[in-house]
Amino acid sequence: MQNHILEIDNLTVSFDGFKALNNLNFTMNTGELRVIIGPNGAGKTTFLDVITGKVQPTEGTVRFKGRNLRNISEHHISRLGIGRKFQTPRVYLNLSVRDNLDLAWVRRKNVFATLLTSPKKGDRRTVTGLLETVGLTAKADLKAALLSHGEKQRLEIGMLVAQSPELLLVDEPVAGLTDEETENVGNLLLSLAEHHSIIVIEHDMEFVRQIARQVTVLHQGSVLCEGSMNQVQNDPRVIEVYLGKAPSVSAEQLLILRIAAAMAWADGNFAPEQMQVILTRLSKQFASDPEQQAELKTELQNYLSQEIALEALIPELSSESDRLQVLKLSYEIIRSNTINEYENRVYQKLLSLLDLPEHQVKSIEAEIEAGFSSLSLDDYLQQ
Amino acid sequence: MVDEAVSRRQLRQQQRRRLIIEGVAIAVIGIFLMAVVPSLLPAFRLKLLGRFLSLAIVALGIDLIWGYTGLLSLGHGIFFALGGYSFAMHLKLQIPEGQLPDFFTLYGVDQLPFFWYPYYSFPLTLILLVLVPALVAGILGYLVFRNRIKGVYFSILTQAALIVFFNFFNGQQKLINGTNGLKTDTAELFGQVVSSPRMQWQFYQITVVAVIVVYLLCRWLTSGRFGRLLVAIRDDENRVRFSGYNPTWFKLVVFSVSGGIAGVAGALYTVQSGIITPAFMQVPFSIEMVIWVAVGGRGTLVGPIIGAVLVRFAQTLLSERFPEFWLFFQGALFLLVVTALPKGLMGLGELPWLQGLFSRPSLDRAVSYPRLAVDPDIQQERERLGDTSSEL
């Protein structure tokens, strides 16, 4: 119980009858880095609004370190140790970068302390350290209005850190950033995660994959599912809310397909024609009539277009028949052209991960070899 | 790190030098206004200048709440008049003991209203002429800011409050002589008639000192963390809130201080013009105050002073010759400032075509914004590479 930094029970927020959040339950451990994803309108930003006190819950409770946040004003919640970064960078444009950080860093934030204290030597040193952390040392005395979009994002994160909150809420930190800047922000967040609990809301799936350990999917104001990135990606419900259509294969079948795709990617060389061949093969495997096959083919193209590590996928296979099917498909795929050194290595890894009895492996390989030797590649394609 | 320490030290030296220049400038201008100007101007013009300088004080107050904190108050007439009434009430009470101020007998009042009593004391009056407007501003501000009323709604509310106060003062003959106001010309203070040249000369001197004191107060308020926080509230109030500050109290303090400053201005203006009436709480006067600040340059402290004095002098000169013309001119002036000079007279130096007039054209001039050549990252990189050439 003590270990939960944030507990949310049966949270409902309704705006004039529209439920932006609906019976949402959520807990997070101290020190965790949690990513929250969800399609537009899933209630992600409202979720942060409730935690930071901007919006009051209609029903339910939000507890931060066991303390109910209802009726506590925003600045008190901030002083309790919850920092928030907004979707668009919100910094004080007419103040210098240094002053932006100084205002966020100061501990005593009442009127009189603000009026009567000036930055001491220690304060300045801390701010200098912060400037280094966010990489804005050279621009410390420029007005924040002159910073680029990415620099403003980093400055705002720096201001968050300056508050030294225990829980950081970060809303779409990489929206509108270049790939390089995205990676910088990702690394910054990862290093912050060593000492803080962080909730990140994000759309950019590449970025989510870079930083995510635990992912929570919100949909229509409730938690749809929770788990590792791979579990979430294989969940048919998640695919349905993102692509607007339920996948026509089951979760287990999808997993098998993903492993097969990972094998196809093994030599890092996945020519479009080759992909077509494999897609045709796979769709035949799982659907019977031609129309369904065509549909499945385009669907698969969506799921398989990225590379995922085998180690993450194979432990998820539950039954032995699934393992056998994986082996069969994988061998077919690498055997479809001549097996090179690299493919062989990945195949050996697959075998060790699958951990099947050797005689079964041998018989399957032989079966497929037999099929190949009786056909030329052209025949295989036409088949 | 070493580089940074050096540049920090340079920056601090620069700041100190600027502070010295500013101090010297204030001293010189103060001495000039107090010792030289009275002998240059005829008494009538000097009295005008004294009045304009008291208006400059209220302009400073408006700048604090509008220029720095971003809240446009259209109700500063309330605080100005409250200060004026406070002082005028004290002057009205400078009569033999047992008597009432003359106007009370007209309405058959034989008992001094209770709130007049504190104004028998001169020191108390001095405190009240600041405290009453500051308190009224504080209460109004608390109600408005606590409910997070911002932007144009704040302006409308202050104007509405202004109208309420105007109607109240206008209608209460039995309390403060209603629409006729309180005349101070014939009253005596410390054994002298208020309108006497000697007294007026003293009021002028006090006004100059008051301008300097209020300027220094505003300077202090706007220069440290507090001032930066005011700018932060103007830039992004929500960010301030989520950083752990409560903007309500900051805005309330500034609004109160601004009200108190307006009270001082009202008191000094009243004794130099000889009368205070509810007319000072009419809508146009409070808008005029905002115009002075806009013309001078909001968000600077020198701007409002220059703006108030210049606009008022222009008004006097123009209306002496073309009495009907002034309001059109004032409207045109405001339009001009809003459209062409958003930073007011203080922003003149930043206009590109004016810069071109006064400085030689050079290739280093900003072509893009922000210009590449002054980007600190690029400069640092250049230094590291030992590149001293400047053929960019």
CA–CA distance, A200 with A37 (Å, rounded to integer): 9
CA–CA distance, B241 with B286 (Å, rounded to integer): 30
Contact by Cβ (8 Å): A195, A167: no
Interchain contact B242–A (C-beta under 8 A) = yes
Nearest chain A residue to B229, by CA: A103
**Which of A293-307, A363-377, B43-57 is most confident?**
B43-57
What are φ and ψ of residue A145, in 5° steps? -65, -25
Contact B245 A75 (CB under 8 A): yes
Residues 6+ apart with CB under 8 A from A322: A252, A255, A256
CA–CA distance, A297 with A280 (Å, rounded to integer): 7
Residue A369 has pLDDT above 50, yes or no: yes
Nearest chain B residue to A147, by CA: B370
Residues of A in contact with B370 (CB under 8 A): 146
pLDDT of residue B367: 41
Name the DSSP letter for residue A88: S
At A154-174, the pLDDT tens digits run 888 888 888 888 898 988 888
- In a mutational test of the B interface, the residue from A74, A77, A120 whose CB has the highest number of chain B CBs within 10 Å is A74
Residues 359-378 in B contacting A (C-alpha not used; CB under 8 Å): 370, 376-377
Report the gap between the CA of B347 and the closest CA in chain A (Å).
Answer: 16
CA–CA distance, A349 with A351 (Å, rounded to integer): 5
Nearest chain A residue to B380, by CA: A138
Contact A115 B244 (CB under 8 A): no
pLDDT of residue A263: 72
Contact by Cβ (8 Å): A336, A345: no
pLDDT of residue B356: 57
Rg (CA), chain A: 26
Query: Which of B224, B236, B253 is the closest to A111 by Cβ?
Result: B253
Contact B11 A141 (CB under 8 A): yes
Question: Is pLDDT larger for residue B301 or for residue A378?
Answer: B301
pLDDT of residue B167: 92
Contact B232 A159 (CB under 8 A): no
Interchain contact B223–A (C-beta under 8 A) = no
A251-382 classified as CATH 2.60.40: no
Query: Which of B241, B249, B380 is the closest to A138 by Cβ?
Result: B380
Contact B228 A103 (CB under 8 A): yes
- Report the share of chain A in percent with pLDDT over 70: 83
CA–CA distance, A33 with A23 (Å, rounded to integer): 23
Query: Which of A138, A140, A163 is the closest to B243 by Cβ?
Result: A163
Nearest chain A residue to B234, by CA: A92
Report the run of H or E that residue A4 belongs to, with start and end: strand A4-15
Contact by Cβ (8 Å): A346, A310: yes
- In a mutational test of the A interface, the residue from B12, B231, B239, B242 whose CB has the highest number of chain A CBs within 10 Å is B242
Residue A227 has pLDDT above 80, yes or no: yes
Query: ipTM score here?
Result: 0.77
Residues 6+ apart with CB under 8 A from B245: A75, A103, A109, A114, B229
Residues 156-195 in B contacting A (C-alpha not used; CB under 8 Å): none
B119: closest CA among B94, B97, B102? B94
Sequence letter at residue B294 = A
CB count within 10 Å of CB B312 equals 20
Number of cross-chain residue pairs from A and B with Cβ atoms under 8 Å apart = 92
Place of tokens 């385009």: A298
Query: What is residue B231's three-state secondary structure?
Result: helix
Contact A104 B243 (CB under 8 A): yes
Interchain contact A309–B (C-beta under 8 A) = no
What are φ and ψ of residue A222, in 5° steps? -130, 165
Interchain contact A125–B (C-beta under 8 A) = no
At A237-270, the pLDDT tens digits run 777 777 665 556 666 777 777 777 777 666 656 6
Report the gap between the CA of B377 and the closest CA in chain A (Å).
Answer: 6
Contact A90 B238 (CB under 8 A): yes
Global pTM? 0.78
Query: What is residue A87's three-state secondary structure?
Result: coil
Divide the 392 residues of chain B into consecutive groups of 10 and give the mean pLDDT of each group: 63 85 88 83 85 93 91 92 92 82 81 86 91 94 89 91 92 84 80 80 91 93 89 89 89 94 94 89 90 88 90 86 82 84 79 58 45 64 59 40
Residues of B in contact with A95 (CB under 8 A): 228, 231-232, 235
Residue A366 has pLDDT above 50, yes or no: yes
Contact by Cβ (8 Å): B296, B67: no
Helix/strand/coil percentages in chain A, nearest 5: 50, 15, 30
Q: How far is CA A188 from the centre of its chain?
A: 16
Quick one: tokens of B56? 């400059």
Contact by Cβ (8 Å): A98, B233: no
Report the gap between the CA of A10 and the closest CA in chain B (Å).
Answer: 25
CA–CA distance, B286 with B75 (Å, rounded to integer): 6
Question: Is pLDDT larger for residue A90 or for residue A114?
Answer: A90
Low-confidence winner among A167-181, A296-310, A342-356, B300-314 (lowest mean pLDDT):
A296-310
Contact B226 A138 (CB under 8 A): no
Residue A201 has pLDDT above 70, yes or no: yes
